[in-house]
Amino acid sequence: MSRRRRNRAMVPGSEHGLGLLKAQVMQDQGYAVNPERPDLVKYEVARTLGVPLQQGYNGQLSSEDAGRVGGPIGGAMVRELVRMAQQQLANQRPRQ
């Protein structure tokens, strides 16, 4: 049974910006990322972790292995977004 991908950005049109963020964050983590295709970095992360992720159907992949690949990517992106928000808040505070 084929499933359609349901992971979409909450803000329409933000996919490009999120892709740029993913590319930058994962480059900072030491991964080789093609800025034109940042979604492909998951295969390099999987390879370095020894997870048998391949393009196409991965029904044999355990949820634990999928999390081992997606966790570092999503976690690094969230940490960077939090850092950016904290920086922005610090710059907005009135000086006393």
**Contact residues for 45 (Cβ-Cβ < 8 A; gap 6+):** 26, 31, 69, 72, 73
- How does pLDDT run across 48-80, given as a tens digit for each residue? 999 999 999 999 999 999 999 999 999 999 999
Distance CA 41, CA 75 (A): 14
Share of the chain above pLDDT 90, in %: 74
Q: What is the mean pLDDT of residues 15-35?
A: 92
The pTM assigned to this predicted structure is 0.78
